[in-house]
Chain A
Amino acid sequence: MIKPESIEDLETFLALAYLLEIESSDRYTELADNMQVHNDPEVEQLFRKLSEYSGKHASEIIEHAEGMVLPNVASWDFEWQSPEGPETTAFEFVEYQITPVKVLQLALHNEIRGHDFYAHIAEQSPSEEIRKLATEFTDEESEHVELLKNWIAEMEQNKGNTRDDMDPPNMPE
């Protein structure tokens, strides 16, 4: 298992950063699809928006990697503080009564983990080039954290954060 902070070459670091964003984006899409099937368009659209944002970040990383050949990396080759990459939402965190506020709280949780991940690399990496880029990514993640905090505050004012189901699906027969 490779410790992400021990990566020495920029190509591997960018490949990993790209992988994290793609995994995050794909997971949001999977969750959006699931909520579409369960007829919750509001939560579905929120997950789709989050997927789009992660996809844009992945594209930005590709721009950083222009002219480079990125290696093939796999998430399971790296040592994480979480079961998957720091910005990937675990399936288990989502339930059928999830509220839009809770969706954004999950996204905030991911962005904070992403921030901490890059901040750690910015401190620990043996490569000055990687430290510089990781600092840039850390700053970007800080912006995302602030944006999400504001978004959550605004949504909490306008909507509640609980849902009731008078006919729950888990009534055993």
Chain B
Amino acid sequence: MTNLAKAKSYKSDIKPIWCPGCGDFAVLSALTKAFAFLDLAKQDLAVISGIGCSSRLPAYFSSYGFHGIHGRALPIASGLKLARPELTVIASGGDGDGFSIGGNHFIHACRRNLDMTYIVMDNEVYGMTKGQASPTTQPDWASSKLTPHGTGVRPFQPAAIALASGASFIARAFSGDPNGMTKLIIAAIQHPGFSFIQVLSPCPTFRPEQKLWKHQVEAFPHEPTDDPVKAATRLYTDDGMSSGLIFQSNYPTWNKPEVAQTSVKQFEEEFVV
């Protein structure tokens, strides 16, 4: 009848502790719907995260998962994908985890273009530690006692950096458009390569003004492109509030060599003191 009727079967018995109204609920819901639509077997699915409000995500699935350490969702997910290439691997987390603590991993995961999906729930704030400026916070946001005059620092540009680093699927979604987000997640999982989705996911507690995002987010006025120059131009002329698929290309993915290049014995010899 409808695959979506079984979406909730991908959820665990653990109830999310996010604040009521948090955008991350819509991401959890969209992921379960995407998994159900693609009819993914739970044993072939792993959700990996770092630390933060949004990084609680793996606990809420009945599939395999790993709630890792701060900023290290991508190394863990990359290792898993290399060891078990047949799995569908979803890495997830927030803007602080992904772009600050894990910023360098983000760049190199894009560059390697392993076949996995990375979803960053971007609320422009460190919510779990009670509201400090994150890498994507605007320079004049002065609501934290740590930065009473704002950070004065230009925000990190996730989609542009993903593009420059070699990600082969780049999209921006909005938690206020759950159906649009579900479609993007399905396309990202189906894409053979590193798929990055920046989800604009309001924090109603520490950034209540983000409730206005629903009036600001609009669909990208362009069709997706496979031309990085066109994509870069669009990203640099965009206000960061457009949603949709931005860029998709068929860059080669990096895979584990089929034949081991070093034997265990050789490894052991190298460690002999």
Contact = CB atoms under 8 A, between A and B. Distances in A.
A36 B15 contact: yes
Nearest to B213: A92
Interface stretch (A93-101, A104-112, A142-150, A156-164): A93-101
A35 B16 CA distance: 10
Interface residues of B, number: 43
Contact of A73 (B2, B17, B21): B2
B234 interface: no
A19 B5 CA distance: 7
Contact of A75 (B16, B179, B204): B179
A141 to B, nearest CB: 21
Interface in A89-130: 90-96, 98
Interface residues of A, number: 39
A95 B179 CA distance: 22
A72 B3 contact: yes
A133 interface: no
Interface stretch (B23-31, B84-92, B116-124, B249-257): B23-31
Chain B binding surface SS class:
loop
A170 B25 CA distance: 19
A26 B8 contact: yes
A38 B22 CA distance: 13
Interface in B196-215: 202, 204-206, 208, 211, 214
A72 B183 contact: no
B83 interface: no
A76 B182 contact: yes
B179 A34 contact: no
Interface in B92-146: 129-132, 143-145
Contacts of A153: none
A165 B54 CA distance: 25
A2 interface: no
A34 B16 contact: yes
B20 A35 contact: yes
Nearest to B145: A172
Contacts of B29: 27, 30, 91
Given A34-B15, A76-B180, A92-B23, A19 B202 contact: no
Interface in A55-91: 70-76, 80, 83-84, 90-91
B246 to A, nearest CB: 19
Interface of A: 15, 18-19, 22-23, 26-27, 29-31, 33-38, 70-76, 80, 83-84, 90-96, 98, 169-173
26 contacts: A18-B1, A19-B4, A22-B2, A31-B20, A34-B15, A34-B20, A36-B15, A70-B2, A72-B1, A73-B2, A74-B33, A75-B179, A76-B179, A76-B180, A76-B183, A83-B179, A84-B179, A91-B175, A92-B204, A93-B21, A96-B21, A169-B205, A171-B130, A172-B143, A172-B206, A173-B131
